């Protein structure tokens, strides 16, 4: 991608730098404005080192976008190199206050905090056929995250929290064990057509918000 340094563990025609993203990255502190990671996280044993390095490298005003297979879709496991499934709530451990919210002392040592700004639950093409209709959305969207293989992918948007002052402000307005989510689908799936040869995939917001923490959900249907 233009303006990006393309990194991988293995060489390819698109790769600029080769390194192990669970080790120290070859970038200075506070040097990156954007990190984009597509279908990498599910391959990592040491995912915490990945986030520590991302936190170190990102500028305070930077952001990171991560794409991973959704944990309840079979794509989370169909590659034998996948190490673990990821759900929206899995990313909560990155947020300030997560240890206090869960009461789990195992999380007490985490200091490389991120704010989970948004999570898009991308609906699989097979379920989009039903959700094209307003009645289908009204009936299914409140329960879609309970149906296996209905959500195919997570698009997660994060910003680094690098100062004690921002941590304090974040804790006053957000719960450490909750993340804001929304449902989305590719436009070419909604329009029931193949993706164009030069067309970038476009996510369309279904207009439905889910605020989840793994124990209960607050939902607001806008359509």
Please state the rounded mean pLDDT for residues 65-76. 96
Residue 11 lies in a domain: no
End-to-end CA distance of the chain: 35
Confidence of residue 222 (pLDDT cuts 50, 70, 90): very low
Q: Report the pLDDT value the prediction gives residue 134, as an integer from 0 to 100.
A: 85
Residue 53 lies in a domain: yes
The CATH code of the domain that includes 204 is 3.40.50
Q: Assess whether pLDDT exceeds 50 at residue 110.
A: yes
In whole angstroms, give the CA distance from residue 29 to residue 56.
5
Q: Report the pLDDT value the prediction gives residue 72, as an integer from 0 to 100.
A: 94
Number of folded domains in the chain? Answer: 1
Residue 40 lies in a domain: yes
Q: Report the pLDDT value the prediction gives residue 132, as an integer from 0 to 100.
A: 87
Confidence of residue 213 (pLDDT cuts 50, 70, 90): low
Residue 118 lies in a domain: yes
The 3-state DSSP class for residue 45 equals: coil
Q: Assess whether pLDDT exceeds 50 at residue 125.
A: yes
Kindly report, residue by residue over 146-175, the tens digit of the pLDDT.
899 999 999 999 999 999 999 999 999 988
Residue 1 lies in a domain: no
The answer to whether residues 219 and 156 touch, using CB atoms and an 8 Å cutoff, is no
DSSP string for 7-31: EESS--TT-SEE--TTS--SS-TT-
Mean pLDDT of the chain: 90
Kindly report, residue by residue over 4-37, the tens digit of the pLDDT.
899 999 998 889 999 999 999 999 999 999 999 9
Residue 2 lies in a domain: no
- The range of the structural domain enclosing residue 118 comes to 29-221
Q: Report the pLDDT value the prediction gives residue 137, as an integer from 0 to 100.
A: 85
Residue 122 lies in a domain: yes
Dihedral, 168, 174, 100, 94 alpha carbons, nearest 10: -90
The proportion of the chain whose per-residue pLDDT surpasses 70, expressed as a percent, equals: 91
Residue 5 lies in a domain: no
């Amino acid at each position: 991608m233009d303006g990006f340094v393309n990194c991988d563990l293995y060489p390819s025609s698109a790769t600029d730098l080769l390194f192990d993203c669970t080790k120290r990255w070859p970038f200075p502190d506070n040097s990156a404005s954007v990190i984009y990671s597509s279908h990498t996280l599910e391959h990592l044993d040491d995912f915490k080192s990945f986030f520590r390095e991302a936190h170190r490298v990102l500028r305070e005003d930077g952001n990171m976008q991560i794409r991973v297979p959704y944990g309840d879709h079979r794509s989370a496991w169909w590659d034998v190199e996948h190490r673990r499934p990821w759900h929206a709530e899995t990313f909560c451990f990155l947020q300030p206050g997560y240890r206090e919210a869960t009461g789990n002392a195992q999380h007490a040592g985490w200091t490389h905090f991120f704010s989970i700004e948004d999570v898009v639950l991308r609906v699989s093409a097979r379920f989009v056929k039903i959700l094209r209709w307003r009645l289908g959305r009204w009936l299914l969207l409140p329960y879609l995250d309970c149906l296996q293989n209905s959500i195919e992918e997570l698009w997660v948007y994060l910003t680094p929290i690098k100062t004690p002052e921002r941590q304090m402000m974040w804790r006053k307005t957000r719960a450490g064990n909750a993340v804001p989510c929304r449902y989305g689908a590719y436009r070419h799936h909604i329009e029931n057509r193949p993706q164009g040869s030069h067309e970038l995939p476009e996510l369309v917001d279904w207009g439905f918000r889910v605020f989840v923490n793994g124990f209960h959900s607050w939902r607001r249907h806008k359509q």
